[in-house]
Structure 1
Amino acid sequence: MMYRKFPKIALALMVFIFLSGHLFAQVGSDPVIVVAPYDPTISDAFKINENPKIVDTAKYSHKLSYSLSPKLIKTNFELEPIKVAKMGPETISKLYSSFVKLGIGTLTTPYGEVYYNNLRSSKYSYGLHYKHLSSLGQIENYANSSFSDNEASIYGRKYIKKNTLSGGIDYKRNVVHYYGYQPDNYVFDLGDDEIKQRYSLIGTEVKYSNSLVDTVSMNNTYKLKYYNLADSYDASENNFLLNASFFRYFKFMKSIPKQVVGLDVDFDYFSNKNSFASENSSIFRLFPFVGVNMNDYRFTVGLNNIIQSDTISKIRFVPVIDISVNLVKNILIAYAGYDGNVQHNSLRKLSDENPFINTMLPLRDTYNKSKIYGGFKGAASSTLSFNVSGSTAKVENMPLFINDYSNVLLNKFTVVYDTMDVINVKGEVAYAGEKLGFVLSGNYFQYTPLHELKAWHKPNYEIKLSADYKIQNKIIVKADLLAYGTAYAKLIDVKGIAVAEKINGYVDGNLSIDYRYTKKLSVFVEFNNIASAKYNKWYNYPTRRFSLLAGVTYSFL
């Protein structure tokens, strides 16, 4: 460290000695003149940041004096009369009392329909309706398949204070032919009259009921119905139905908003005759029930008391329970229940389902012994609704259509009855928009018969789509799509053993277009079986393929 400081010390001593020598030299009095250029300098300026202030020490005050000279100015206000408000005309659409629809189609198919109704009235309403549809078209290689449908009705309604009296008379005449065989396969030939069947039905109904639901007093409905059905083979059926319904709202418990107590009474009587026998049967039903509505929870409990009378009498008691829960307000509802009932398989019911029956067939009551169901329903929006459910049921005496082997042509059907378990899953979606609307529904069935090999002529599923679309309220397009699953027919082989003959499923579609030329006049065209599909709904009964129907509609009066 000392060696590093030595040079610094030596340098300091040399400077000191040098300065000392100069100092000593100035002690003398000799003048020294230094010649050098002039270098003027100015010191730095500093800004004063304070503003000057004027302090006025003299103070004085000046008093103001003034006076007001009031002057009245005249003002005028004139009222303008307001125009009286006028009520606009009521926007009630004009009604036409009459409506006619006429058309003609391929396969020589005339069509006509007429409606007549009275105009608006707060006292009564009445009207009539008539419809005709027939066709002379034939199906290749099969017997005469022409048909004719006619129906007419007169109806009326009278408003009596808080009640309504209504009634009507109906008439139907339907003609078909048992065309389910191929004449070339037989050595004999039957005339058209020998395979012709005509159903004639006349009926009437009278009903008396409350016009609106009364939440204070008793609500009543009384109904009386009668019909007579006859065919070309001396078979006939008479039916009387008497129905009365009563219900009233109560408030037994303050915590529960609504409770309803009711009673339904039915008496259904049938009298059947044919060329070989006659029989009478009846069903009496007494159904008391109680319903409770607790905001999001609803349930109904009742007991079906049923008395069946034909050759013997039977008494049945079937509980009925229905429960629903509003899971999401006005959007999703869950429901479940248990019920059962008895229904008579009348000649009218069976012939409506299958017009190619032998009308001398056994008629029995179907007993829906127990049915358990559950599902969900609701609305996804104001235009879209849905319903999905499933059920399982035990059914006694379910009617199944089979070919009648007492007829050598096998072109008629009879029924066999069997007990079976039925599982059903179904769903439905409906949309109702301004222009587009549709309903899509589907059913899946699983049948387990007790004695028969199959549930004859019962498809395992069915899907239906119905839609309509409006184009500027001038053109309306409608479409229907149907799809049915596999079914089976019962045949007897050469050994006398029953075998199941498969009936393939099918898809069918229809399309119609309606052009409204004016509010009174429109034209339409309908396309049936647009894919020209070939299929059998009943064994050995092929349906017609593509056909077209066109015509006009007109409203008047």
Structure 2
Amino acid sequence: MTTKLNTLKLYTIAALIVANLPAFAQDTLRTDWVDVVKAFKPILSESMKIQSNPNPEIPETQTPVFSYEVPEKRMDGQPTLYTIKPLSLGTSLLPKLKNNYTKIGYGNYNAPLFETYLNTTRNKNVQAGLFVKHLSFNPNGDRQFSNNTVYGFGKRFLGSGILSADALYYRNVVNLYGYNTLADVGPNNNIKQKFQTIEGKVGYQNILKDTSKLSYKLDGGFYNFSDNRDVTENDFKLYGTFGKRINGNPIDIKTGVNISNLKFGNTEYNRVFVDINPRYKLNMDQLYINLGFNSTFFNDSTGTTFYFFPIAEAGINLIKNSLTTYVGITGNLQRNTYRSIANENPFVRSAGFRNTENSFEMYGGLKGIISPQTSFLLNASLANVKNLLFYVGDSANLNSQKVVFDTKSSSVFNVKAELNHEFGNQFLLGFVMNYYSYSISIKAPYSMPTFTTQLNLGYNMSDKFLWKASVLTMNKRESGIEVAPNTINATTLKGFVDLNLGLDYRYTKNISLFVNLNNLTNNQYERWVNLPVYGFNVMGGLTVSF
């Protein structure tokens, strides 16, 4: 029975397998499949939510009850006062000024030097100072000279102004060593030239608290200038400068009188100058204009003459605060005195006295700054001048110097260039160049150069070594020697380079040592005809400040 059942199961399974075999065959011709396309609608089933109702408890609060007692204590009612010390600048912010110094030195050519300067300490009411100097060179031969200076000043600061006074004594002695040494010149005093100046000045200047008010400065002065050849010059001046602003632009007027008296032997020459010189300056954004005139009433033994010179200058700022171009016209009457001539050329023994008239001068140029430490100037001018002053040798007076005037109208063309650089207190540079061209009626511009340069340098090395140097150059000059009245033999003065070097060594804050080397090229050139300068010379010494 069991065998029959198993056989029946096998037959049944085999029949099922055979019936399903067509399902595994590939049939590409079936058409009973249907594709249904419609929009998808997502359906979320209902979520099961947990029912929760919060029931927070309300806290119970109770106001605290404090119970305490403040002990009773009686305070002392007597006040205690403290004095507060006021603040002040203190002396530490105002260090002691070492305005006083003394310098002592010595050099070759038997050259002693003494110099001292004394000044008052800080004082809001008074300032005063005194300067004394002696310098002399005493080489072998006749080229000795001596300079002595005593100068004092004082100022009184008032509530409304400043009262000032100055006094000067100056003595200069030179020898006329340009003479022919083979000639008999007599006693030694014949070649000695002595000049002496005694001068005093007083002045008063008001202090303005309101710049719209009138400002003024009054000055009076007198000097006596004399030599050892019975020539004396007395000069008195009284001047005032008044200023006021009109619509923000300044107007100034300088006026005064100058009386000059010259005595030589039994001859006396008097001159009177009365000046009126107004100025008005108009300032605009990029433009400025200066207007005015110089005028002088001149009186001497020949009569009275009135001189009038227009003044005008206009400038435009090409680059604001950096570059300015300007043009202008000017003129003036230059007083030639015995003192001014002898200060320029101390070997002058005879001099005529004419005023140099700069009747009309045109000028123009550029000025500005290259950097905050560097500035420059370029200027060209053409002047029409009468009574130009020159110097020649005087063979009749030991080959001293004599003044020659070009009494006719002359013209002078000048080109000037300047460069200045200052780097704090560490480095200084100054350079000046001048070129001159003369159109004159006399044969030559005697003793005057046509090209000069001057260079000054200073270097501060760590406030310990202070270096300084200067270089002066001058081209050759045409000069002459007067051998007879109105007869001048021409001569030529060579060009030169004068190089100087100096060093100050600060040993301490109060003591320093110095050495100066002058004319390093040892070039004994002639600045004036037949009068060579000293060759190389060295001077050293000590400076004490206190």
Q: CA RMSD in A?
A: 2.8
- 2:147 is aligned, of 145, 149, 172, to 149
Matching residue of 1:356: 347
Residue 415 (1) aligns with residue 413 (2): no
Describe how 1:122-271 pairs up with structure 2 within 5 A.
122-138=124-140, 143-183=141-181, 185-186=182-183, 188-211=184-207, 214-251=210-247, 258-271=248-261
SS in 1 for 2:93: coil
Letter in 2 for 1:510: N
Matching residue of 1:114: 116
1: CA distance, partners of 2:420 / 2:58: 83
1: CA distance, partners of 2:323 / 2:55: 84
TM-score (norm 1): 0.81
SS in 2 for 1:391: strand
2: CA distance, partners of 1:218 / 1:298: 22
| 1:106 and 1:549 in contact (8 A); partners too | yes
| 1:402 and 1:416 in contact (8 A); partners too | no
SS in 2 for 1:412: strand
Q: Displacement of 1:343 after TM fit? A: 1.4
Q: Displacement of 1:497 after TM fit? A: 5.6
- 1:92 is aligned, of 91, 94, 97, to 94
Q: Displacement of 1:334 after TM fit? A: 1.4
Describe how 1:458-473 pairs up with structure 2 within 5 A.
458-473=448-463
Pair 1:426–1:71, CA change in 2 (3 A)? farther
Describe how 1:500-511 pairs up with structure 2 within 5 A.
500-511=490-501
| 2:195 and 2:227 in contact (8 A); partners too | yes
Pair 1:526–1:64, CA change in 2 (3 A)? farther
Q: Displacement of 1:117 after TM fit? A: 0.6
| 2:389 and 2:403 in contact (8 A); partners too | no
Q: Displacement of 1:339 after TM fit? A: 0.9
Pair 1:493–1:117, CA change in 2 (3 A)? closer
1: CA distance, partners of 2:319 / 2:423: 23
In structure 2, stretches of 5+ residues that fail to align are 1-42, 64-84
Pair 1:155–1:496, CA change in 2 (3 A)? closer
Offset from partner CA, 1:451-486 (integer Å, 9 cap, x none)? 211111110011111111001111110111101122
2: CA distance, partners of 1:99 / 1:280: 43
Matching residue of 1:58: 48
Q: Displacement of 1:217 after TM fit? A: 0.4
Matching residue of 1:16: none
- 1:440 is aligned, of 417, 423, 431, to 431
In structure 1, stretches of 5+ residues that fail to align are 1-52, 73-83, 252-257
SS in 1 for 2:472: strand
SS in 2 for 1:406: helix
Letter in 2 for 1:353: E
Pair 1:286–1:493, CA change in 2 (3 A)? closer
1: CA distance, partners of 2:325 / 2:58: 85
TM-score (norm 2): 0.83
Pair 1:425–1:58, CA change in 2 (3 A)? same
2: CA distance, partners of 1:314 / 1:201: 30
Pair 1:226–1:495, CA change in 2 (3 A)? closer
2: CA distance, partners of 1:63 / 1:552: 107
| 1:425 and 1:444 in contact (8 A); partners too | yes
Matching residue of 2:36: none
1: CA distance, partners of 2:57 / 2:363: 98
| 2:394 and 2:482 in contact (8 A); partners too | no
Offset from partner CA, 1:244-277 (integer Å, 9 cap, x none)? 11110022xxxxxx22233211211110011252
Offset from partner CA, 1:374-411 (integer Å, 9 cap, x none)? 1111111211111111100001111111122433x323
2: CA distance, partners of 1:213 / 1:446: 49
SS in 1 for 2:396: coil
Matching residue of 1:345: 336
Residue 101 (1) aligns with residue 103 (2): yes
Q: Displacement of 1:182 after TM fit? A: 4.0
Q: Displacement of 1:516 after TM fit? A: 1.1
1: CA distance, partners of 2:116 / 2:486: 52
Matching residue of 2:14: none
Aligned residues with identical type, % of pairs: 29
SS in 1 for 2:400: coil
How many residues in Structure 1 have an aligned counterpart in Structure 2?
483
Q: Displacement of 1:154 after TM fit? A: 1.4
